[in-house]
Chain A
Amino acid sequence: AQSVSQHNHHVILSEAASLELGCNYSYGGTVNLFWYVQYPGQHLQLLLKYFSGDPLVKGIKGFEAEFIKSKFSFNLRKPSVQWSDTAEYFCAFSSGGYNKLIFGAGTRLAVHP
């Protein structure tokens, strides 16, 4: 079955710490990969996406992610987090011709000043 595994359910960091959130997907074919973020009280917003080409993609607010096909992974990174990065982060993928997204369970990030 198609699925997404996000390894960390809760992450607590201090400001300026580096962040890496793990994401592995289960699907043997070509995928499109996404990270969405949900700030407290707000709607899901796209952080970054990978369709093809350079496996290192950059998104908004200094986030980046690397697609490693051999590991079925799409980990999210940020070198220095800020208090405003406190949010829930969802990894997702789609396959085939339509954008039906399969989401992971999410990772709650809390950044302390």
Chain B
Amino acid sequence: DAGVTQSPTHLIKTRGQQVTLRCSPKSGHDTVSWYQQALGQGPQFIFQYYEEEERQRGNFPDRFSGHQFPNYSSELNVNALLLGDSALYLCASSGDRGRIPSGANVLTFGAGSRLTVL
């Protein structure tokens, strides 16, 4: 059990559509990060949310947006889907304000949502 729950596990969309992915962090964690893992590559950082605000952002276009709710859960939204958006989207949570060094700030990853864009 990862402790981080993501939904849906798999989904198929067509180009131009919009998608929303959801994440519930591990109990006790308050920071949520999203990563994109394309086939054969390592995860790439999309953005991080803390206190319902985007705190850091990776090199992703504005089509990628997110939200964090008061219960620390989070959503990732992708608009105007492209074929290249096909990937495994990983949610990771951490505690203690996501700040390190601290032994409490190791990321815990969910199993991911596999998005296929046709």
Contact B100 A100 (CB under 8 A): no
Chain A residues lying within 8 Å of B2, measured Cβ to Cβ, are 43
Chain A residues lying within 8 Å of B109, measured Cβ to Cβ, are 36, 43-45
Contact B56 A100 (CB under 8 A): yes
Interface size on B, residues (CB 8 A): 29
Out of B40, B107, B108, B112, name the residue touching A101 (CB < 8 Å): B107
Instruction: Give complex CA distance A98, B96 in Å.
Output: 11
Contact A42 B58 (CB under 8 A): no
9 contacts between A and B (CB under 8 A): A44-B43, A46-B106, A90-B42, A94-B100, A100-B48, A100-B56, A102-B45, A105-B41, A106-B41
Q: How far is the CB of B40 from chain A (nearest CB, A)?
A: 7
User: Inter-chain contact count A-B, CB under 8 Å?
Assistant: 66
Instruction: Give complex CA distance A36, B43 in Å.
Output: 11
Contact B98 A99 (CB under 8 A): yes
Chain B residues lying within 8 Å of A104, measured Cβ to Cβ, are 42
Contact B100 A92 (CB under 8 A): no
Instruction: Give complex CA distance A94, B100 in Å.
Output: 9
Contact A103 B90 (CB under 8 A): no
Chain A interface size band reads 20 to 34
Contact B42 A97 (CB under 8 A): no
Given contacts A100-B33, A103-B43, contact A43 B110 (CB under 8 A): yes
Out of A46, A97, A103, name the residue touching B44 (CB < 8 Å): A103
Interface residues of A in 39-92 (CB under 8 A from B): 42-46, 49, 51-52, 90, 92
Chain B residues lying within 8 Å of A45, measured Cβ to Cβ, are 109
Given contacts A4-B42, A44-B90, contact A98 B112 (CB under 8 A): no
Contact A90 B56 (CB under 8 A): no
Verify if B115 is at the interface (C-beta below 8 Å from A).
no
Instruction: Give complex CA distance A106, B44 in Å.
Output: 12
Q: How far is the CB of B109 from chain A (nearest CB, A)?
A: 4
Out of A43, A52, A99, A105, name the residue touching B42 (CB < 8 Å): A105
Query: Of all chain B residues, which has the CB nearest A97?
Result: B99
